[in-house]
Chains A and B, each alone.
Chain A
């Protein structure tokens, strides 16, 4: 059976969007011309898990309703092709994507169904509420976080509303794109990791 995973970009302080769902801060052009990285770290070759590479490991998605509405509001081609997708919601879904279905019921049952659909591939949960829900249920097995070196100070937090501490183990930290940091986290407390040269 596959794993339940997430793939998100977040600000340094844990936000995935500004207060009004703004994601412009994720764009490459930065205010004041500040590069993403300088010095030795900027010279490292990117070796992170790209989104296309990640999506190839996925057999089914569970996307939060808010995120779905935002994605379908963008002009252009639907980015997920015919990937099976479940959207936890009681309301009709906009758009015309045959592989997407509205899913009622509790998140745990929806995740179980998604794992069945995914077969021996993994499930991708997307959207703050859905990722949080999976963390709260103890069902999020892996999380790939691309950390932007920008602190927002407020906005939509990935982990907003969680009241109990949750621990992860950092499996890898790699360079992504023009100097961003990508962390792959697995569920559970710190494990034993091999030393990595300082960059």
Chain B
């Protein structure tokens, strides 16, 4: 079953933090781990631009990249397409492009949209011990509490902690299947 996984960083008061603010080797390790099962990457324009600037786009390899953007984006050899519209549609598109493997979602704003749509199966979130006071809430606007099980914990020398969290078994996948059934119904 296709899973939708995400990589994010968050302040103590729940605001999304750019992945590029994480230690580079840690970000590389997390990405490497999640890309191992990923068949497609779904991200936003800002996150993709940052990835290209830091040379992390190469990690994607031959996997298709769907960038939620209405503007053209840079791609150096990567299979990149832009998409817009409802998040459920973009997740469906990415799921199809993943060819039986998982979808990896990157970018705080996009991760938040996937969470609100109920489509997230697992998230690796690094808690940065900073209180920002303002920003984009990573879990803002969810209709009901999102319950996870902690499957892994890693503490970094820089004073960060990365939590791997899994949603209730098949909760998100079931939601996506239900949407497909309704969409296919005459």
Question: Contact between A153 and B150 (Cβ–Cβ < 8 Å)?
Answer: no
Q: Residue B155 contacts which of A11, A147, A168, A196 (CB distance < 8 angstroms)?
A: A196
Question: Contact between B129 and A167 (Cβ–Cβ < 8 Å)?
Answer: yes
Residue A169 interfacial (CB < 8 Å): yes
Q: Taking A36-B150, A151-B142, A153-B139 as contacts, is the C-beta distance between A190 and B163 under 8 angstroms?
A: no
Question: Contact between A151 and B146 (Cβ–Cβ < 8 Å)?
Answer: yes
Q: Residue B115 contacts which of A40, A151, A154, A165 (CB distance < 8 angstroms)?
A: A151
A165 to B15, CA, bound (A): 12
Residue B149 interfacial (CB < 8 Å): yes
Q: Name the distance in Å between B79's Cβ and chain A's nearest Cβ.
A: 32
A169 to B153, CA, bound (A): 17
Question: Contact between B146 and A157 (Cβ–Cβ < 8 Å)?
Answer: no
Q: Residue A170 contacts which of B14, B152, B160, B168 (CB distance < 8 angstroms)?
A: B160
Question: Contact between A149 and B150 (Cβ–Cβ < 8 Å)?
Answer: yes
Question: Contact between A149 and B13 (Cβ–Cβ < 8 Å)?
Answer: no
A152 to B146, CA, bound (A): 7
Q: Name the distance in Å between B143's Cβ and chain A's nearest Cβ.
A: 8
Question: Contact between B157 and A162 (Cβ–Cβ < 8 Å)?
Answer: no
Q: Taking A12-B165, A13-B10 as contacts, is the C-beta distance between A153 and B159 under 8 angstroms?
A: no
Q: Residue B150 contacts which of A32, A151, A160, A179 (CB distance < 8 angstroms)?
A: A179
Residues 167-186 of chain B: 1 if any A CB is under 8 Å from the residue's CB, otherwise 0?
A: 11001000000000000000
* Size band of the interface chain B makes with A: 35 or more
A166 to B11, CA, bound (A): 10
Question: Contact between B159 and A193 (Cβ–Cβ < 8 Å)?
Answer: yes
Q: Taking A151-B145, A164-B133 as contacts, is the C-beta distance between A33 and B157 under 8 angstroms?
A: no
Residues 1-40 of chain B: 1 if any A CB is under 8 Å from the residue's CB, otherwise 0?
A: 0000000001111100000000000000000000000000
Residue on A with the closest CB to B11?
A14
Residue A111 interfacial (CB < 8 Å): no
**Residues in A neighbouring B154, C-beta threshold 8 A:** 196, 198-199
**Residues in A neighbouring B129, C-beta threshold 8 A:** 167-170, 183, 185, 190
Which secondary structure dominates where chain A touches chain B? loop
**Residues in B neighbouring A36, C-beta threshold 8 A:** 149-150
Q: Residue A41 contacts which of B137, B148, B150 (CB distance < 8 angstroms)?
A: B150
Residue on A with the closest CB to B160?
A170
Residue A52 interfacial (CB < 8 Å): no
Residue on B with the closest CB to A154?
B140
Residue B130 interfacial (CB < 8 Å): yes
Among A12, A15, A34, A183, the most chain B Cβ lie within 10 Å of the Cβ of A12
Residue on B with the closest CB to A180?
B150
**Residues in A neighbouring B125, C-beta threshold 8 A:** 12
Residue B147 interfacial (CB < 8 Å): yes
Residues 102-143 of chain B: 1 if any A CB is under 8 Å from the residue's CB, otherwise 0?
A: 000000000000010000000001010111111001111111
Residue on A with the closest CB to B162?
A198
Q: Name the distance in Å between A159's Cβ and chain B's nearest Cβ.
A: 4
Residue A50 interfacial (CB < 8 Å): no
Q: Name the distance in Å between B144's Cβ and chain A's nearest Cβ.
A: 8
**Residues in B neighbouring A35, C-beta threshold 8 A:** 149
**Residues in A neighbouring B137, C-beta threshold 8 A:** 13, 153
On A, residues with C-beta under 8 Å from B are 11-15, 25, 30-41, 135, 145, 147, 149-154, 157-170, 173, 175, 179-181, 183, 185, 190-196, 198-199
5 A-B pairs besides A151-B139, A190-B158 with CB distance below 8 A are: A41-B153, A147-B127, A149-B148, A158-B12, A179-B150
